[in-house]
Structure 1
Amino acid sequence: MKHLFISVFFLMHFVYCFAQEINDKEVDSLYREDQFYAGVTYNLLGNMPKDVEQSGFSLGFHLGFIKDMPINKNRNVAIGVGLGYSSNSFNQNLLVDKDNMGKATYSVLKDNNTFIKNKFSNHLIELPIEFRWRTSTATEYDFWRIYTGFKLGYVFTHTTKYRGDLGRIRYTNIEDFNNFQYGLTLSAGYNTWNIFLYYALNPIFSSDANLDGNKIDMNTIKIGLMFYIL
């Protein structure tokens, strides 16, 4: 996945440079901005149950296309609607296993020395919707931007993995995971480099998942960099 992200990033950089050369020759009064995006995030877990902790480095990779639709004469205010892909991992000490009936069970691994790996990961198709403000013009390609919005994601596959004293445990597409994820987004920065924030409004697990009789309300928080390209 890291190699895929790097390849896509360099491809988008090439497209950006090519677009710059074209725009240098001809001014487009009906220009649009930031049609493609690629990003990397550090993934956090919010509302963690007691004794649940993150470990290691949890990464997310994101890329997609957004149709830019200016809504004012200067074309520096716009609505963006797009389609994207997101891959995320979460390293932590919440063990996901199954009982003899095949039902998912949850327990906390309190001793980090008893396991080498414990994580869950997911892959999503996403629908980003953004309200966009920027300082760009038809001839100015380096500009400030603030994009706020909402992102709806469909988890088409997710996996849990454990490796430690209990052996190797791996499950795919456990029913307790919410297939739909949605949350608020914010991108702000100058030129290509932008700080990106995502805060999920619904939990990772459904109401059927519980730890010691309590519902697991963990949600996703992503902090990282987003790169926008024409």
Structure 2
Amino acid sequence: MRDLITGFFFFLFLSAPLTAQVDEEDSSWSIPDSVPYVIDSLYREDQFYIGFTFNLISKKPEFISQSGFSGGIHLGFTRDFPLNERRNIALGAGLGWSWNSYSQNLFIGEDESGETIFRSLTNDLDYSTNRFSTQLIEVPIEFRWRTSTAETYKFWRIYAGLKFGYIYNFRSNFVQPENQVIQTDVPELDPFRYGATFTFGYNTFNFHIYYSLNSLFPEAKINGEIIDISVFRVGLMFYIL
């Protein structure tokens, strides 16, 4: 009997560490009650953008006027490069795409010899559509200031910079009863674009302007006068991530 009792306590002594070890292993595989909140001290802001603008023709001669709606769509990616520890001052450089339409009275066509024709359409001419559109690849470069922190997603922003672009597709469309003229090859068009940009706003809605610094048709003339027109875009810009 004494040997039986001694053996029983000896078994309990050996099994206790094994039980503790199993409990410890089980606890290591248990699911925590909550996920710890981690602050990203190396955050970046406003890297993807999409914008909608109303397009105006600026610096135009007296015989050129706009009519109807002219608009644009802009989207792309801008890499954010913070300059300070708080990361609310940064440089931005990226790549984007832009489509723009301009409704106006500048007719663009072609004569029998292949030379481009530029004419100012008068009000007594019967036509329903006269517009040209552009598609561009753009490279925005910005200086960025904002009130952001690693924990806030709503903040004020002011971004200013330059935007360089290349027109890879141009299309002029003139429509009147039983007649349509489409022109895509215009040697007088300067495809290389550059302009100043300014964006400011809070949270979702941001006011955006773009002012072109070079002419669309620097060599084109009507009656000996150069068609020195540039563009001005104003609208809203939205940022994510």
Q: What is the TM-score of this pair, normalised by structure 2?
A: 0.83
User: Unpaired segments of 5 or more residues in structure 1?
Assistant: 1-23
Could you tell me which residue of structure 2 aligns to residue 133 of structure 1? 145
Alpha-carbon distance in structure 2 between the residues aligned to 1:166 and 1:220: 31
Could you tell me which residue of structure 1 aligns to residue 163 of structure 2? 151
Could you tell me which residue of structure 1 aligns to residue 88 of structure 2? 76
The share of aligned pairs that are identical, in percent, is 47
Deviations 1:13-45 (A, max 9, x none): xxxxxxxxxxx9431001100010000000000
Deviations 1:153-208 (A, max 9, x none): 0000100000015810001131111110100000000012100000000011132x
Alpha-carbon distance in structure 1 between the residues aligned to 2:164 and 2:42: 29
Distance 1:112 1:60, change over 3 A: farther
What do you get for the CA RMSD once the two structures are aligned? Answer: 1.3
Alpha-carbon distance in structure 1 between the residues aligned to 2:179 and 2:118: 16
Preserved contact between residue 51 and residue 110 of structure 1 (Cα < 8 Å): no
Residue from 41, 57, 60 that aligns with 2:72: 60
Alpha-carbon distance in structure 2 between the residues aligned to 1:165 and 1:94: 18
Residue from 185, 188, 195 that aligns with 2:200: 188
Alpha-carbon distance in structure 2 between the residues aligned to 1:181 and 1:27: 41
Alpha-carbon distance in structure 1 between the residues aligned to 2:127 and 2:70: 17
Letter of the 1:140 counterpart = T
Where in structure 2 are the equivalents of 1:155-170 lying within 5 Å? 155-165=167-177, 167-170=179-182
Preserved contact between residue 146 and residue 155 of structure 2 (Cα < 8 Å): yes
Distance 1:166 1:109, change over 3 A: farther
Residue from 91, 97, 105 that aligns with 2:109: 97
Letter of the 2:235 counterpart = G
Give the stretch that moved more between structures: 45-54 or 35-44.
45-54
Could you tell me which residue of structure 2 aligns to residue 172 of structure 1? 184
1:215 counterpart = 2:226: yes
Secondary structure of the structure 1 residue equivalent to 2:128? strand
Aligned length: 206
Divergent runs of 4+, >3 A = none
Q: What is the TM-score of this pair, normalised by structure 1?
A: 0.87
Preserved contact between residue 157 and residue 173 of structure 1 (Cα < 8 Å): no
Preserved contact between residue 110 and residue 183 of structure 2 (Cα < 8 Å): no
Alpha-carbon distance in structure 1 between the residues aligned to 2:133 and 2:171: 5
Task: Give the C-alpha shift of residue 99 in structure 1.
Answer: 1.6
Give the stretch that moved more between structures: 81-90 or 107-116.
107-116
Alpha-carbon distance in structure 2 between the residues aligned to 1:184 and 1:194: 16
Alpha-carbon distance in structure 2 between the residues aligned to 1:29 and 1:114: 63
1:200 counterpart = 2:212: yes
Could you tell me which residue of structure 1 aligns to residue 239 of structure 2? 228
Preserved contact between residue 94 and residue 106 of structure 1 (Cα < 8 Å): yes
User: Unpaired segments of 5 or more residues in structure 2?
Assistant: 1-35
Could you tell me which residue of structure 1 aligns to residue 31 of structure 2? none
Task: Give the C-alpha shift of residue 146 in structure 1.
Answer: 0.2
